[in-house]
A and B are shown apart, each in its own frame.
Chain A
C-alpha cells in the first residue's frame, strides 16, 4: 500500500528555473493538499483541491500554481523559482466522509533554490 508518494525527494534549482512536484495517492481520496515547511517552523498551506478539476488557494499561494487533472494526482508548479521558496514541501490527501477523515502525508520534497 503506497499511500501518498511525492516525486522528486530532493531537488536543487537555480533562481528563475521552473519545476513541477508530483503528488500521487492510491487511496481514492477527494481532498489533496500542498504544504511548505520552513526550518523550525510549522506547516503552511499553499494550495488544496477538493476534487478532480478543482483547486483553491491556501495561506501562501504566491509563486505557485497547481493542477488536479486526475483524482489521484496533484501537481505543484514553480514557474520562476526564488531563494525564498527553499523549503520542504509536503503533499497530503484525505477522505471526504464522516469518520476517518485524517490526512495522510507524503515523505516530503526538499527543495533548495540557489
Chain B
C-alpha cells in the first residue's frame, strides 16, 4: 500500500539544537517527495522537493531510496521554525493522488 509515515506527532527541540523530522514512505514506483510547512493559522506551503536538492530556511532533506526515507534536517533550530511539517509523496506521471503524512508539530523551546 502507498503511504507516508511521520512517526512523531510532536517534536520539541531547544533553540540552537539540531532538528530532524522523520519521514518514511511506501511506494512501488519512483515518486516525487516533498516537505510542506504550515505556520500558525496559515495555509500549507511547499518547503522542499527532493529533486531540487536545495536548502530552504536552513532545512535540507535527502532522499534515501534504500531506506525509503526523506528526513528533514536543520543543524541549528530557530524559534521561527515552530510550525506543522508535512511530508508528501506524489506519483510521477499521474495515476494516483498525492499522499500526505499525518504531520509533525515542531516546537522550538527558548
Residues of A whose CB lies within 8 Å of any CB of B are 30-31, 33, 40-43, 45, 48, 50, 56, 90, 92, 94, 96-99, 101-108
Contact = CB atoms under 8 A, between A and B. Distances in A.
A102 B32 contact: yes
Interface of B: 32, 34, 36, 42-46, 49, 51, 84, 86, 88, 90-94, 97-98, 100-103, 105
Given A105-B44, A107-B43, A94 B100 contact: no
Given A33-B97, A96-B93, 13 more contacts: A31-B97, A31-B98, A33-B98, A42-B103, A43-B44, A48-B97, A103-B36, A103-B44, A103-B90, A104-B46, A105-B45, A107-B42, A107-B43
Contacts of B90: 94, 101-103
Contacts, number: 65
